[in-house]
Structure 1
Amino acid sequence: MKKWLVLLLSVLLVTGCSSKKETENATGKKQPLKKVSVVLDWTPNTNHTGLYVAKEKGFFKKEGLDVDIIMPGETGADQLVASGKAQFGVGYQEAITQARIQGVPLVSIAAVIQHNTSGFASPVGKKIQSPKDFEGKTYGGWGSPVEKSVITSLMKKENADANKVKIVNMGDTDFFTAVKRDIDFAWIYYGWTGVEAELRNEKINMVYLTDYSDKLDYYTPVLETNEKMIKENPETVKAFLKAAAEGYEFAIKNPDQAADILIKAAPDLDPKLVKKSQEWLSPKYQDDAKEWGIQKQEIWENYAQWMYENKLLDKKLDAKKAFTNKFLPKQ
């Protein structure tokens, strides 16, 4: 479920026009719901549960919104949100950082998960227990420069040689197929692929990024919008986040019920995987933060500095413009 892979699904673009559906305002008078769309980064999974809960339980409607949750097309969520063809999206701190350096006006408005739960996974038989063990192995990724930089930075900490790692593009091949075919390790989210490994009784080793560098504890994923939306429709952004926060808070307190809502919305998903993944992930949405969704400037600065030091950025990021907490309901 990694971010900027090209997806094969088509997308129905929905612009921010009024809907024929209605809700009552504070005076009891019916008003049309405002139609907006939120583009996922990948096929539906437990990173997105709060959005589906907010839709199913009427939290969006209560805030005057008719929200379409749609799949990204070949252009991806970031491009659709940046261009205004979608009002909101599921993005990632690393991608938003790179986008802003290039002048793309994306803004992160909430952290879906407080800490980075991703890492490098491998079957136990590959005997990869630390970055040093990457030497002589084949890594399967999606072709982003950040992959090699992360692998190199982790290996440097153990005086290992990153040049001894072969990097190949996995394409759309899933982790379990790829490690049986032509790779030794890959970058995964434990909350989905790791949990799936548990269900399949396939034992894996994990090398978590956060075990080796605090600077790699960045926000992944996040909810995003664009600067124009913030400037021209701040009340819509506020309403969207209020409902989304309520959805994720419900999922934190009721993982089993929340999983059922996601299964209903995406019936092609494996119900056992959704249930177990939701149980694992729900406590991590808010984790040690005061409230769900809060982001820290130091997290944005630390990761951007790491990217700059690793020559992934041409200039330093103005972190204050890359994210905001002001639309979260309890700020």
Structure 2
Amino acid sequence: MKKWTIAIAPVLLMAACTDEAENPGSDVANEQQGLQEVTMVLDWTPNTNHTGLYVAQQKGYFEEQGLDVEIILPGEAGANQLVASKQAEFGIGAQESLTEARVQDIPIVSIAALIQHNTSGFASPKDKGIESPSDYEGKTYGGWGAPVEKAVLGSIMEQDDADVENVDIVNIGNSDFFTAVERDIDFAWIYYGWTGIEAELRGDELNMQYLTDYSDKLDYYTPILMTNEDMIAEDPETVRAFTKAVSQGYEFAIDEPEQAADILIESVPDLDPELVKASQEWLSPKYQDDAPQFGEQQEQVWADYAAWMFDNGLLDEELDVEEAYTNEFLPEGEN
């Protein structure tokens, strides 16, 4: 579940089967029912970031909107590329990777925030004694090899009068956090709602430095729901219908976390039921949090994080913020 831990890490294998492979008659059935087939690509293996999608599928919200939605895993190229190249109409991404993509003229657009505030941070087993960013000096950080990691580390360490050059940064790829901190590293970047909850269930005490405790500019949207510019221009009604069904799914997960967890477990039997239920209880209140409605995005959040990335040398040019996201397709009016 590393991708849920690290927002812009490389992605896993493409799902081996499609609805058509499982049911050769699905195209005919959908035509008879008048359903439009669309593909939704995840950012990583299924987890509680994605619960609302599976709720929308199982509760019939997609079908009510005239859609037959196939949920797939991303290939090596990643969700951004699949959505940009129209191999999938919709996908799950993150503000940081979409910002990078937009500056590189990749035509993807965020249409909803799935979680309102950044729940990620740097975690370590309590016995390693890492209680603040200054304690990173002399320690080994395990990441996935992206420039943003050193920039974030350096940004929060500066506030503690510490130097990121004194951190040994190593690439651990898709290694399991718990195995890695026992064997190779001292700390890593995780999302508490999955890896942190798993630590609680295992009885492992963690020290956690949340990014939002050190900078408002690092309180960005991750994950997000995205589509491509051509879908918005050529088929806005499908975008609106899809976003409405997804919103219904996440609103159900907000109101009924136990039932939502059961739906995810039923939909993805390989998941650990205990972890899903505990994670869902923790995460459900955070989908909408303090936003006026589920999915709503603020221009300031996009502008602040893009400015931070540009100031830290992570962008070649400044982001055109208005082109990167829209609230237009959220179900409660025009925002």
What TM-score results when the alignment is normalised by the length of structure 1?
0.95
Structure 1 residue 20 corresponds to structure 2 residue 28: yes
Query: Aligned partners of 1:153 and 1:68: how far apart in 2?
Result: 40
Tell me if the contact between 2:193 and 2:282 (Cα under 8 Å) persists in the aligned partners: yes
What's the CA shift for 1:311?
Answer: 0.4
1:194-213 alignment runs, 5 A limit: 194-213=196-215
Query: Aligned partners of 2:65 and 2:18: how far apart in 1?
Result: 19
Aligned residue for 1:165? 167
Aligned residue for 2:150? 148
SS at match of 2:198: helix
Q: Which amino acid aligns with 2:314?
A: L
What's the CA shift for 1:13?
Answer: 9.2
Tell me if the contact between 1:119 and 1:206 (Cα under 8 Å) persists in the aligned partners: yes
Moved more, 5-14 or 67-76: 5-14
Tell me if the contact between 1:19 and 1:32 (Cα under 8 Å) persists in the aligned partners: no
Match of 1:9 among 8, 13, 31: 13
Query: Aligned partners of 1:20 and 1:213: how far apart in 2?
Result: 53
SS at match of 1:251: helix
Note closer, same or farther for the CA distance 1:248–1:11 as it changes in structure 2 (3 Å cut). same
Structure 1 residue 330 corresponds to structure 2 residue 329: no
Structure 1 residue 312 corresponds to structure 2 residue 288: no
Q: Which amino acid aligns with 1:192?
A: W
Note closer, same or farther for the CA distance 1:4–1:216 as it changes in structure 2 (3 Å cut). closer
What's the CA shift for 1:11?
Answer: 3.6
Query: Aligned partners of 1:248 and 1:263: how far apart in 2?
Result: 16
What's the CA shift for 1:143?
Answer: 0.6
Tell me if the contact between 2:117 and 2:222 (Cα under 8 Å) persists in the aligned partners: yes
Tell me if the contact between 1:215 and 1:302 (Cα under 8 Å) persists in the aligned partners: yes
Query: Aligned partners of 2:244 and 2:186: how far apart in 1?
Result: 43
Query: Aligned partners of 2:8 and 2:205: how far apart in 1?
Result: 27
Tell me if the contact between 2:113 and 2:294 (Cα under 8 Å) persists in the aligned partners: yes
Query: Aligned partners of 1:3 and 1:191: how far apart in 2?
Result: 13
What's the CA shift for 1:7?
Answer: 3.5
**Unaligned 5+ runs, structure 2:** 20-25
- Please give the per-residue CA displacement for 1:203-254, whole angstroms capped at 9, x wherever unaligned: 0000000000000000000000000010001000000000000000000000
SS at match of 1:158: coil
SS at match of 2:110: strand
Q: Which amino acid aligns with 2:90?
A: F
- Aligned positions, number: 323
What's the CA shift for 1:14?
Answer: 7.3
Structure 1 residue 190 corresponds to structure 2 residue 192: yes
Amino-acid identity (%): 64
Aligned residue for 1:284? 286
Report the RMSD for the aligned CA atoms in angstroms. Answer: 1.5
Tell me if the contact between 2:12 and 2:45 (Cα under 8 Å) persists in the aligned partners: no
What TM-score results when the alignment is normalised by the length of structure 2?
0.94
Aligned residue for 2:122? 120
Query: Aligned partners of 1:264 and 1:120: how far apart in 2?
Result: 32
Tell me if the contact between 2:116 and 2:286 (Cα under 8 Å) persists in the aligned partners: yes
- Please give the per-residue CA displacement for 1:135-169, whole angstroms capped at 9, x wherever unaligned: 00000000110000000000011110110000001
Q: Which amino acid aligns with 1:10?
A: M
What's the CA shift for 1:172?
Answer: 1.7
Q: Which amino acid aligns with 1:9?
A: L
What's the CA shift for 1:3?
Answer: 3.5
Q: Which runs of 4+ in 1 moved over 4 A?
A: 12-15
**Unaligned 5+ runs, structure 1:** 24-29
Query: Aligned partners of 1:204 and 1:192: how far apart in 2?
Result: 13
Q: Which amino acid aligns with 1:20?
A: V
Query: Aligned partners of 2:39 and 2:11: how far apart in 1?
Result: 18
Query: Aligned partners of 1:282 and 1:271: how far apart in 2?
Result: 16
Structure 1 residue 35 corresponds to structure 2 residue 43: no
Query: Aligned partners of 1:81 and 1:20: how far apart in 2?
Result: 25
Tell me if the contact between 2:147 and 2:314 (Cα under 8 Å) persists in the aligned partners: yes
Query: Aligned partners of 2:332 and 2:118: how far apart in 1?
Result: 23
What's the CA shift for 1:12?
Answer: 5.7
Query: Aligned partners of 2:285 and 2:199: how far apart in 1?
Result: 20
Tell me if the contact between 1:14 and 1:37 (Cα under 8 Å) persists in the aligned partners: no
Aligned residue for 1:261? 263
SS at match of 2:74: coil
Note closer, same or farther for the CA distance 1:12–1:237 as it changes in structure 2 (3 Å cut). farther
1:55-74 alignment runs, 5 A limit: 55-74=57-76
- Please give the per-residue CA displacement for 1:264-287, whole angstroms capped at 9, x wherever unaligned: 111111000000000000000000
